[in-house]
Amino acid sequence: MSWNKMNVFHWHFLDATSFPYASQAYPQLANKGAYSSAHQYTNDDIRNLVQYAKERGVRVIPELEAPGHSTSWAYGIPEIVSCVNKVPYTGFTVQPPSGQLNIANNKTKEVVNTIIDELSELFPDSWFHASGDEVIMNCWTNDTQIVSYLAERNMTIMELFRRFVVDMQNHIRSRHKTVMVWQEMLLEYNFTLPADTIVQIWIGSSGVKAATEKGYKTVVSSSDYWYLDTGYGKPRSNPYSNVPGAGYNHWNRVYSYDIRANLTEEEANLIQGGEVCMWSELADRTNFEGKIWPRAAAAAERLWSGYETPTGDTIASDDAILRLLPWRELMVLRGTMASPLNQGFCTRNPLDCFQT
């Protein structure tokens, strides 16, 4: 990252399939929710990673995935999770296994706030990602405890959901952190968020306009350009041949993305930065570097160099490839498993290959 002048690592390390964080207050969450004892992040692991990044000019922002994608919490503390491992999962989650935090249980709030406190100490960065993506209401409306809770208080599920979100985000702010959320909070659930909230855009590039015209600062990671995990099929083994995977975002498509497109100058000024995302359903130590590099380098040049030269000329991809080809070779020489961009002949003789 530092070689490419990428200076923020957004670490989404909790999800439905695993709870690898070794909490001091609730060790059972990782002991029962991680894949194994070897798949846990201790306090020392996290501190070492944060320090390693700091020495290379990289901030580390943690994400606390809540209240969706939370099945793994249930293995350690069952009472704080609804619709755990419903079969079939369809209608309860966007991908298996199903499970969302039980937003009517006071124990849930206690656990979440304690985890926030612990992570706030381990991650000194001033930003904290409060997640909030891909919540499925059907999970909660089929939980008898939540249904009874709503009936007794004459509340709707959205009112209860909003209260949970506000309480969680207020607790993060009490730790002197700026709250970052996924775009659903603003654009799907239509919550009114405090003006200082950072909204991360991922569902297509149109969300950038939708968020900034509402006056919110944004981080752009539009999946139709800057998701690096797509194009390899569905993130689970699927026997049905008519279910396609998402399209592959090749380096030129990554480079072509103008995150300012269709924005006014005022809206464009609300963009805090961009992020390429590497989700790990279909990645592990054998292939993740090749999926990230050198495509992430293409995004990094756009974010640092922009779209025009100081004289107003467009910075085009047919010029960028002349820089990206040798840069990929240099990353390989430095030990990074960056994927090739073309045949070796074109790396050595780019002007012979890329003629107009």
Question: 307, 315, 318, 296: which is closest to 3 by C-alpha?
Answer: 296
Residue 134 appears among annotated catalytic residues? yes
Amino acid at residue number 25: A
Query: Could you tell me the strand order of the sheet in which 271-274 lies?
Result: 8-12, 59-63, 127-129, 178-182, 198-201, 217-220, 271-274
Instruction: Report, at the CATH architecture level, how domain 1-192 is classified.
Output: Alpha-Beta Barrel (3.20)
Is the dihedral angle over the CA atoms 7, 13, 14, 17 positive or is it negative?
A: positive
The residues, ordered by sequence, that sit 6+ positions from 79 with a Cβ below 8 Å of its Cβ are 102, 105, 107
CA distance 128 to 177: 6
Q: Is residue 265 packed enough to be buried (19+ CB in 10 Å), middle (13-18) or exposed (0-12)?
A: exposed
Nearest Cα to 178, choosing from 54, 302, 48, 272?
A: 272
* Catalytic, out of 110, 134, 213, 289: 134
Question: Which residues have C-beta within 8 Å of that of residue 166, sequence separation ≥ 6?
Answer: none
- The reported pLDDT for the residue numbered 213 is 96
Q: Are 326 and 338 in contact (CB under 8 A)?
A: no
11: left (phi over 0), alpha (psi -120 to 50) or beta: beta
Token pair 């009472």 in the structure block, residue: 79
Which residue, among 320, 294, 283, has the nearest Cα to 1 in the 3D structure? Answer: 294
What integer pLDDT is reported at residue 348 of this predicted model?
A: 86
Q: Rounded CA gap, 164 and 150, in Å? A: 13
Burial (CB < 10 A; 0-12, 13-18, 19+), residue 103, is buried
Q: pLDDT tens across 246-281, in order?
A: 689 999 999 999 999 999 999 999 999 999 999 998
Q: How far apart are CA 250 and CA 294, in angstroms?
A: 10
State the Cα–Cα distance between residues 119 and 344, nearest whole angstrom.
46
Give dist(CA 269, CA 266) in Å, integer: 5
pLDDT of residue 351: 80
Residue 29 to residue 187: CA distance in whole angstroms: 32
Tokens representing 245 are 């995977």
* Pairing between β-strand 178-182 and β-strand 198-201 as defined by DSSP bridges: parallel
Burial of 166 from C-beta contacts in 10 A (0-12 / 13-18 / 19+)? middle
Q: What's the whole-model pTM score?
A: 0.94
The pLDDT value given to residue 349: 86
Q: Which two tokens stand for residue 86?
A: 């419903």
* Domain residue spans of the chain: 1-192
> What is the C-alpha to C-alpha distance for residues 279 and 276, in angstroms, rounded to an integer?
10
Is beta strand 127-129 parallel, antiparallel or unpaired with respect to 198-201? Answer: unpaired
Residues in the chain where the model's pLDDT stays below 70: 235-246, 355-356
Q: Is residue 211 within 8 Å of residue 268, measured between CB atoms?
A: no
Residue 288 contacts by C-beta under 8 Å, 6 or more apart in sequence?
278, 280
**Spatial separation of the C-alpha atoms in residues 88 and 346, rounded to whole Å:** 49
Q: Given this model, what pLDDT does residue 318 score?
A: 86
